[in-house]
Structure 1
């Protein structure tokens, strides 16, 4: 049997034995929890900040702008004249 150069390299590759690293048997849960709790805490803070400044603050601004010029008596009179209320009639009716 004649061996070629590639066969020798291939055979030498399979002859080398490597030891596998030992599996972690202790503390794996604690290590993973510390890692994932940190990530989840950071993501929850980012989500809370995004909701506060992306939804809540613009909504507060919109309500403040609306009520800055809102006249409730004028709105009540407009609804009364439109006949929306059962308890009070429009001005022209008795």
Structure 2
């Protein structure tokens, strides 16, 4: 004798499916945010700390001044006056 197949569950199927997918999405979101924060903390902060240890503000200013980046100072360090 053949066994009877169970009746398909139709009532509340969408709600159960939606609840399951929302739980999965929440777990994946929290995990990805945690991994991103850990990655950022490890790579960005360590690189920034290394940069701060070796950065010389005065040397960088002199390099920019000689390159002519500033409009008010010429490459020799003399302050320009307005020609109005």
Q: Give the TM-score category using the shorter length.
A: 0.7 to 0.9
Whether 1:29 and 2:26 are equivalent positions in the alignment is no
What is the TM-score of this pair, normalised by structure 1?
0.66
- Runs of 4+ off more than 6 Å: none
RMSD of aligned alpha carbons: 2.2
Whether 1:43 and 2:28 are equivalent positions in the alignment is yes
Alpha-carbon separation, structure 2, partners of 1:76 and 1:38: 53
Aligned partner of 2:54 in structure 1 is 69
What residue ranges of structure 2 are gaps of 5+ in the alignment? none
2:59 match: secondary structure: helix
Alpha-carbon separation, structure 2, partners of 1:72 and 1:44: 40
The 1:29–1:92 alpha-carbon spacing in structure 2 relative to 1, beyond 3 Å, is: closer
2:66 to 77, 81, 84: 81
